[in-house]
Amino acid sequence: MKIKKFDTKTLDAILEKMIDTVGDSKNEIFRIGEQCRNDFETLSDELKSVKRMVVQIIDEGDQLERQARLARNRLSDVSRDFKKYAEAEIREAYEKAHQLQMDLSMNRQVEKQLRERRDDLERRLIGLNETIERAEHLVSQISIVMNYLMSDLKQMGEVIEDAKAKQDFGLKIIEAQEDERKRLSREIHDGPAQMLANVIMRSDLIERVYREHGGQQALMEVRSFKKMVRSALYEVRRIIYDLRPMALDDLGIVPTLRKYLQTIEEYHNKARIEFVNVGLECRLPAKYEVALFRLIQESVQNALKHANAKEIVVRLEITKSAVNVLVQDDGIGFDVNKKSTESFGIIGMEERVELLEGVLSINSKIGNGTTVSIRVPILK
């Protein structure tokens, strides 16, 4: 079965598209809400005007009602005693009463239209207000969704990226193990194995020298032979020490670190390594001693190999509740936010500290050296 690798760039593109789409929807709803607010203000002003006109038309209607009643009374009087009034007075009374009645009827019609317009405006304003409230609610919900998209889903992307980094780290470990095997094979071949081959040759040579040149010359060859055996033994011990210092099991973390850093300083005679122990010099559980030794070893090797450091200070503090480690160098430094192939060493350190439930902090700037700070609680 072929396992496909997850492309984090595809996830980022999907998230960006989702965020853009939701953002556009939010902006569109916001524009609708703003348009509704503008319409609400316009209709509110119109409603105020219509209400004033309704009050005014009602007042005018009341006046016309009184005038029309008086005109009808006048017309009734004239009609009852029409012999007492001239024709012109009768016509005037009739026309005035008719005109006032027409004006009153027109007034009532305008009042009805204004009332209907007022009621319609009030209904529309209620609808607009509901639309505005829904738009605000939707904008609020969309903002929450965008926050989820931009935070929680982003964290999911970071988790996937972290998982991918751990997968790559696992592959890197396998590659490092193979490289370490090759290095050990090469060192053993070029060092102890070559020396042992020479030992066999020199032992044959000693026999021949003894037969041909006598005991004195053979004794000189034996001394040279012993020196060669010591060199082979030294190389074997050095290789074993690099794999795992036996003193770590026998003496503990502090003496082992002191000896290891002294040995490393002798190997790299261009760098000065200072070891400072300010806490207790006591034994720790094996898992702590091994992990702390490897963390300090990795930090020092990085300072020598990648930072070209000339001064390295290793500070160790063991208390009853925690272990604090500080490794400072004056090397070339690096950008801690920039990933590189060397960052797998840092990932390995983070993994070790995480297993011990500790905290790892790396501060570095290009040209200003690097400080590695480690705090590991001692859990009993």
Of 243, 264, 299, which residue sits at a domain end? Answer: 243
The residue behind tokens 């920039």 is: 338
Which distant-in-sequence residues (6+ apart) come within 8 Å of 79 by Cβ?
Answer: 90
- C-alpha closest to that of 147 among 32, 34, 26, 29: 26
CATH number at 116 reads: 1.10.287.950
Give residue 141's domain range: 8-150
Instruction: Give the chain's domain count.
Output: 3
Global pTM value: 0.45
Query: Higher confidence at residue 19 or residue 156?
Result: 19
Using pLDDT thresholds of 50, 70 and 90, give the confidence band for residue 3: very low
pLDDT band at 4 (very low <50, low <70, confident <90, very high): very low
Q: Determine the pLDDT at residue 2.
A: 41
**Claim to verify: residue 119 and residue 225 sit in the same structural domain:** no
Same domain, 233 and 263: no
Question: Could you report the per-residue pLDDT of 161-211, keeping only the tens digit for each?
Answer: 665 665 565 555 556 556 556 656 665 666 666 666 666 676 767 777 677
Q: Are residues 41 and 84 in the same domain?
A: yes
Q: What percent of the chain has pLDDT over 70?
A: 74
Q: Give the best-scoring range by mean pLDDT among 12-21, 233-242, 321-330.
A: 321-330
Indicate the residue among 227, 243, 259 that finishes a domain.
Answer: 243
**Which CATH number characterizes residue 355's domain?**
3.30.565.10
Mean pLDDT of the chain: 79
263 and 237 in a common domain: no
Over residues 55-113, the pLDDT tens digits come to: 999 999 889 889 888 888 887 887 777 777 777 877 888 888 888 889 888 989 998 99
Region of residue 183 (phi > 0: left; psi between -120 and 50: alpha; otherwise: beta) = alpha
Pair (198, 270) in one structural domain:
no
Binning pLDDT at 50, 70 and 90, where does residue 157 land?
A: low
346 or 59, which is more confident?
59
Residues 345 and 238 placed together within one structural domain of the fold: no
